[in-house]
Amino acid sequence: MLIHTSKSGFVHPLASEITPQAVWNERRQWMGQAATLSAGSVLAAGLPGLAGAAESLPDKITPFKDATGYNNFYEFGTDKADPARNAHSLVTHPWRVKVDGLVKKPIEFALEDLQKLAPQEERVYRLRCVEGWSMVLPWQGYSLAELIRRVEPLGSAKYVEFQSLADPKTMPYVGSRLLDWPYVEGLRLDEAMHPLTLLTFGMYGQPLANQNGAPVRLVVPWKYGFKSTKSLVRIRFTDHQPATAWNKAAPDEYGFYSNVNPEVDHPRWSQATERRLGEGGLLTKKRKTLMFNGYAEQVASLYAGMDLRRNF
């Protein structure tokens, strides 16, 4: 289980205020050494059960160039390098996020107001791609639960639907037959309320790169990466399970829950092992995939009594 959190009041800075990558890397290396000297303690930032994760120490932060150069973002292309090549066309300001559905207080946020809704933190999370790659990334944001509490879901709300921007003028692959646009994902309300679920505005100490889901995205670290919706424009509360993009496109391959589970293979490849991005490419030694991506202690109770092979 890998968690590292620190308080920050992160909002989108001016370009002159962004920490240079070399300085950020040096600071991160120093923090890692300090963590080793303190016998693997981590800052839990009030999240239950997150302190004392000594097993997190072997995980190194994925290099910035890999995290921003190898992405799934099908609105900009199907090759892993396409988003970095094509996402420059995305216009991220102004930006608004609508929150509606089964809530007492529906609202539409300007990005700047959404950023300031709650104090932001840096959290280092594993992210696991369904194709067998994994990363370790430092995100900036706050628990989605902070937003959910503000809008006061009705008792009938059971699920939360997340919708990405779908603009064919700035996203060249929107309109392709690959998916039913706009990109839609969803969580059960209790999953969305879990403190690990992060509403995210930055990574590596600076605003999200376009190819990483700018200007605001979701990060759900115990699920496969496609559940972490990018470039959010709408959050809708509903009483029924949302019809999600990949589940509609290939229901036998992409279940609604999509929890990281090494015991349930994708129809076309094993999920038992993974390669960490930035550690040598296809020659990288595989490592065992952890149940719930290493966050079982925190999230397994959400699925008590469920058949995780049937509910994949």
CATH number at residue 266: 3.90.420.10
Question: How many domains is the chain built from?
Answer: 1
Residue-averaged pLDDT of the chain: 87
Q: Which domain holds residue 242?
A: 4-303
Residue 80 near residue 67 (C-beta atoms within 8 A): no
To the nearest whole percent, how much of the chain has pLDDT over 70? 81
Q: Does residue 287 carry a pLDDT above 60?
A: yes
Q: Does residue 168 carry a pLDDT above 80?
A: yes
Query: pLDDT tens, 289-298?
Result: 999 999 999 9
Asked if residue 308 is part of any domain, the answer here is no
Asked if residue 32 is part of any domain, the answer here is yes
Rounded Cα gap, residues 312 and 256, in angstroms: 7
Comparing 36 with 114, which gets the higher pLDDT?
114
Asked if residue 58 is part of any domain, the answer here is yes
What's the predicted TM-score (pTM) here?
0.86
Asked if residue 312 is part of any domain, the answer here is no
Runs of H (alpha helix) within the chain: 21-37, 64-69, 82-86, 111-115, 144-151, 189-193, 245-249, 296-299
How far apart are the two ends of the chain, measured CA to CA in Å? Answer: 21
Asked if residue 137 is part of any domain, the answer here is yes
Spatial CB neighbours of 101, under 8 Å, sequence gap ≥ 6: 157, 161, 236, 237, 238
Which is it for the CA torsion 252, 163, 77, 122, positive or negative?
negative
- Rounded to an integer, the average pLDDT of 289-309 is 97
- Rounded to an integer, the average pLDDT of 72-80 is 97
